[in-house]
Amino acid sequence: MGIIHELPVELSNQIAAGEVIERPASVVKELVENSIDAQATQVLITIQQAGLKLIEVNDNGKGISSDDVEVAFLPHTTSKIANDRDLFNIRTLGFRGEALASIASISKLMVLTSTDGKSAVRAKYSGNELVKKETFARSKGTTITVEDMFFNTPARLKYVKSLHTELNKIVDIVDRLAMGHPDISFRLINEGKDLVWTSGNDNLQQTIAGIYGRTIASHMLEFENSDPDYEIHGFFSKPDTTRSNRSYISLILNGRYIRNFQLTNAVIRGYGSKLMVARFPVAVIDIKMDPSLVDINVHPTKQEVRLSNEGHIGDLISEGIKNRLSDQNLIPDAVKNL
């Protein structure tokens, strides 16, 4: 008799969860991305014990219908893509249909949602099984509550670092999601204390101020360098405001925070010899381009993306920064002080 058999769904979900859900910050990222995809304008994230005890994401987006509540938490269920054409033309942050199923498999999960602000549904899951569904009341939108993350996968809990580290990772994720969406108000509360709060008034510089502080944001320079295919806009610090690592350089591509070595270097290259050795600027670069020219489907967490024409985009970024810096130098101090 053969020894190969199919894995129980529960187990295969826990294995899949390992790829997407490494730590509390991954849950925050997936849930908030879902709120953004649901066209929310306000997203409130409440956490306890750096997310290990509780992560609750509350949005005013379009909500999940009562029928969909039954399937949204199954593996590979999504409302965002339907065929291979969609896969190569992705306009949403999510599309893999894996996040909710993965989160449900490693935590105690509850959803409260309404598509019209009149009737609402509250559902509880155990593993990926819907164990309770009842009618309820709430305004339009969705609240997803994740408790006791990794309670059934203690080995994974071991990889979680200190609460302090985990909390920093959550703040970092919310910061970058907020910078990618200045038109959405984000608020992060940990143990009753506000850690991030952006206004959602669609002003990138004010959003940066909500994250890095007013002083830094108000001294940043704005630039734009676009061509028919790529729209590039951003803010960057003057060469005298620097940090000791590259993590203050944020790249936002079509509303998605991405990591890309070549484009990060393009930002630095724009400063020429104006930066001191081993010092890096604070910058937020917003890139808009045709989604069909981006391959997001490279890694489950979707932060690494492949771009056709990366070199050209890099040149637009570094040229834009370089030109803006040289304009700045043309203005004599006497005039600047007027």
Chain contacts with Mg ion (rule: CB under 5 A): 34, 94, 99
For the chain, the straight-line distance linking the first and the last C-alpha, in angstroms and rounded, comes to 88
Q: How far apart are CA 152 and CA 182, in angstroms?
A: 37
Give me 105's structure tokens: 């498999």
100 belongs to the binding site for ligand ADP (CB under 6 A): yes
Q: Decide if 136 contacts 120 (C-beta within 8 A).
A: yes
Q: How many residues bind ligand ADP (CB under 6 A)?
A: 23
Q: What is the DSSP string of 126-143?
A: ETTEEEEEEEE---SEEE
Decide: helix, strand or coil at residue 298.
Answer: coil
List the single partner that 286 binds among Mg ion, ligand ADP, none, CB under 5 to 8 Å by kind.
none
Rounded to 5 degrees, what are φ and ψ at 211? -105, -50
Q: Which residue has the CB atom at the shortest distance from ligand ADP?
A: 94
95 belongs to the binding site for ligand ADP (CB under 6 A): yes
Q: How far is the CB of 103 from Mg ion (least distance, A)?
A: 10
Nearer to ligand ADP, 72 or 121 (CB): 72
Kindly indicate which of the ranges 5-13, 99-107, 118-126, 283-291 contains the residues binding ligand ADP, using the contact rule CB under 6 A: 99-107
Q: How far is the CB of 296 from ligand ADP (least distance, A)?
A: 11
Q: How far is the CB of 296 from Mg ion (least distance, A)?
A: 13
Quick note: the x/- pattern for ligand ADP over 36-75, rule CB under 6 A, is: --x--------------------x-xxxx-------x---
285 belongs to the binding site for ligand ADP (CB under 6 A): no
99 belongs to the binding site for ligand ADP (CB under 6 A): yes
Q: How far is the CB of 27 from ligand ADP (least distance, A)?
A: 11
Tell me the CB-side half-sphere exposure of residue 180, using CA atoms within 13 A.
Answer: 25
Distances (CA, A) of 57 to 40, 96, 142, 320, 334: 11, 20, 8, 37, 51
96 belongs to the binding site for ligand ADP (CB under 6 A): yes
127 belongs to the binding site for ligand ADP (CB under 6 A): no
Q: How far is the CB of 50 from Mg ion (least distance, A)?
A: 22
List the single partner that 104 binds among Mg ion, ligand ADP, none, CB under 5 to 8 Å by kind.
none
- Cα 206 to chain centroid, rounded: 18
Q: How far apart are CA 104 and CA 127, in angstroms?
A: 5
Binding test (CB under 6 A) with ligand ADP, winner from 35, 107, 225, 264:
35
Phi-psi region of 278 (alpha: psi -120 to 50; beta: other; left: phi over 0): left
DSSP 140: S
Q: Decide if 113 contacts 69 (C-beta within 8 A).
A: yes
List the single partner that 149 binds among ligand ADP, Mg ion, none, CB under 5 to 8 Å by kind.
none
Quick note: the x/- pattern for ligand ADP over 129-148, rule CB under 6 A, is: -------------x------
Q: How far apart are CA 321 and CA 331, in angstroms?
A: 16
Query: In the chain, what is the greatest distance between 2 CA atoms, to the nearest angstrom?
Result: 88
Question: Token match 């925070």: residue?
Answer: 257
List the single partner that 61 binds among ligand ADP, Mg ion, none, CB under 5 to 8 Å by kind.
ligand ADP
Contacting positions for ligand ADP (CB under 6 A): 30, 34-35, 38, 59, 61-64, 72, 77-80, 94-101, 142
